[in-house]
Amino acid sequence: MELFEEVEVEAHVYPTEDIGKVKRAMLNLIPDLEFEAFEKGDYIILTGRTDSRKALSRLYELFRGQAILDTARSFLEEGHFGEEIILKVNKQAAYAGVVNFNEESPLGPITIIIRTKDPQRLMKWLAPRTKDGVPVE
70-95 per-position pLDDT tens digit: 999 999 999 999 999 999 999 999 99
Predicted pLDDT of residue 134? 75
Predicted pLDDT of residue 90? 95
Predicted pLDDT of residue 135? 77
Predicted pLDDT of residue 42? 93
Q: Provide the 10 A C-beta neighbour count for residue 64.
A: 14
Predicted pLDDT of residue 19? 97
Using 70 as the pLDDT threshold, list the residues of the chain that sit under it: 1, 103, 137
CB within 8 A of 81, min separation 6: which ones? none
d(CA 133, CA 111): 26
| Percentage of the chain modeled with pLDDT above 70 | 97
Predicted pLDDT of residue 1? 59
d(CA 42, CA 51): 30
Domains, the chain, ordered by start: 6-129 (3.30.1440.10)
